Amino acid sequence: MQIPGSDQVQCHLNNWYVNRLVYQLAKELYGDREGSHATPSEVALTQFIYPEVIKEAALSAEVASGHPIYGAAHFRQHYVDGRMGSDPSLARPEHGQQLYEVAVKAIAEDYQKFLSVA
């Protein structure tokens, strides 16, 4: 049984970090130390939104990267502190504000494009 109108539903997945403008800004701010998990851009955005919970944590100088992931236990074995080629110590709340503003603008533009095509 088909739900009436369901053949007209159109969707588009979007989030704050999967767009060209946010990626470019993160690369400008952090270069190769952005990484792909526990990134400075993720931490900076969190610091901007929740400044009351900013904390410092000691990080080892060595950062793991390039290991395949075959599940949670395998991830923890190779990425003990959660970082995947990233240096979250570079994060700053003011970077988070920049990333937030760029993301909101990019998502709004994507949404307007989606509406014009839908």
82/84 Cα distance (integer angstroms): 7
CATH code of the region 15-55+62-117: 3.40.50.10310
pLDDT of residue 50 exceeding 80, the answer is yes
Q: For 17, what's the count of Cα atoms within 13 Å in the CB-facing half-sphere? A: 16
**pLDDT tens per residue, range 53-105:** 998 888 888 899 999 999 999 999 999 999 999 999 999 999 999 999 999 99
CB 84 within 8 Å of CB 34? no
Residue 118: its pLDDT value, please? Answer: 61
Q: Is the pLDDT of residue 4 over 90?
A: no
* pLDDT tens-digit series, residues 24-45: 999 999 999 999 999 999 999 9
- Please, are residues 26 and 39 in contact by the beta-carbon 8 Å criterion? yes
Token pair, residue 2, equals 């088909």
C-beta neighbour count of 47 within 10 angstroms: 22
Give the mean model confidence (pLDDT) for residues 101-115: 94
- Name the residue among 87, 109, 81 with its Cα closest to residue 42: 87
Is pLDDT of 1 > 70? yes
Report the predicted TM-score, pTM, of the whole model to 2 decimal places. Answer: 0.83
Among residues 68, 66, 61, the alpha carbon closest in space to that of 87 is found at 61
